[in-house]
Amino acid sequence: MKKRLFMVLAAVLALTMTLAACGGGGTVEPAAPAPEPIPDAPAEVAPPASTEVFEFNLQNHDSPVGATAQFLDAWAEAILEASDGRIVINNFHGGSLGGPRDSYNMVADGTVDIAWGLPSFTPGLFPGTDVIALPFIGVKTSLQASYALWDLYDSTEYLKPEWSDVHMILLHTNCDAPLITNKKLEKAADIRGMNLRVNGGPPTEWATLAGANPMNIGIGDVYAAMEKGAVDGVTSTGWDVISAFKFYEQGSYFLDYAIHVNPYFLVMNNASYDKLPADLQAIMDQFSGYGALEVVGTRWADVKADVFNKIDETGGTIYKLPDAEQAIFDGYGVQAREIWMGELDGQGIDASGLVAKTLELLDKYKDK
The pLDDT of residue 350 is 96
Average pLDDT, integer, range 195-202: 90
Q: What is the pLDDT of residues 215-226, one digit of tens each?
A: 988 888 999 999
Binning pLDDT at 50, 70 and 90, where does residue 49 land?
low
Residue 227 lies in a domain: no
Average pLDDT, integer, range 163-172: 98
Amino acid type, 352: S
The pLDDT of residue 45 is 42
- d(CA 245, CA 54) in angstroms, rounded, equals 33
Residue 163 has pLDDT above 80, yes or no: yes
Domain count, the chain: 1
Average pLDDT, integer, range 249-257: 95
Q: What is the CATH number of the domain that holds 79?
A: 3.40.190.170
The pLDDT of residue 123 is 82
284 versus 121: which is more confidently predicted?
Answer: 284
**β-bridge mates for residue 180, sequence order:** 234, 254
Residue 195 has pLDDT above 70, yes or no: yes
Report the percentage of the chain scoring pLDDT > 90.
Answer: 73
Q: What is the pLDDT of residues 333-361, one digit of tens each?
A: 999 999 999 999 999 999 999 999 999 99
244 versus 267: which is more confidently predicted?
Answer: 267
Residue 48 has pLDDT above 50, yes or no: no
The pLDDT of residue 280 is 98
9 versus 264: which is more confidently predicted?
Answer: 264
Residue 196 has pLDDT above 60, yes or no: yes
User: In sequence order, what are the residues at sequence separation of 6 or more whose Cβ sits closer than 8 angstroms to the Cβ of residue 312?
Assistant: 318
Residue 313 lies in a domain: yes
Q: What is the pLDDT of residues 78-89, one digit of tens each?
A: 999 999 999 999
Structural domain of 124: 54-178+259-364
Average pLDDT, integer, range 130-152: 94
- 47-61, 62-76, 98-112, 350-364: lowest mean pLDDT where? 47-61
CB half-sphere exposure, 58, CA atoms < 13 A? 24
Q: What is the pLDDT of residues 260-317, one digit of tens each?
A: 999 999 999 999 999 999 999 999 999 999 999 999 998 888 888 889 999 999 999 9
The pLDDT of residue 37 is 52
Residue 276 lies in a domain: yes
Residue 24 has pLDDT above 50, yes or no: no
Residue 355 lies in a domain: yes
Residue 4 lies in a domain: no
Residue 296 lies in a domain: yes
Average pLDDT, integer, range 242-264: 93
Residue 196 lies in a domain: no
The pLDDT of residue 304 is 86
Residue 20 has pLDDT above 80, yes or no: no
Q: What is the pLDDT of residues 32-43, one digit of tens each?
A: 454 555 445 444
Collapsing DSSP states into helix, strand and coil, what is residue 176? coil
Residue 66 lies in a domain: yes
- d(CA 219, CA 230) in angstroms, rounded, equals 14
The pLDDT of residue 41 is 45
Residue 16 has pLDDT above 50, yes or no: no
- d(CA 90, CA 292) in angstroms, rounded, equals 17
The pLDDT of residue 28 is 40
Residue 227 has pLDDT above 60, yes or no: yes
Amino acid type, 208: T
Average pLDDT, the chain: 87
CB half-sphere exposure, 86, CA atoms < 13 A? 17
User: In sequence order, what are the residues at sequence separation of 6 or more whose Cβ sits closer than 8 angstroms to the Cβ of residue 157?
Assistant: none
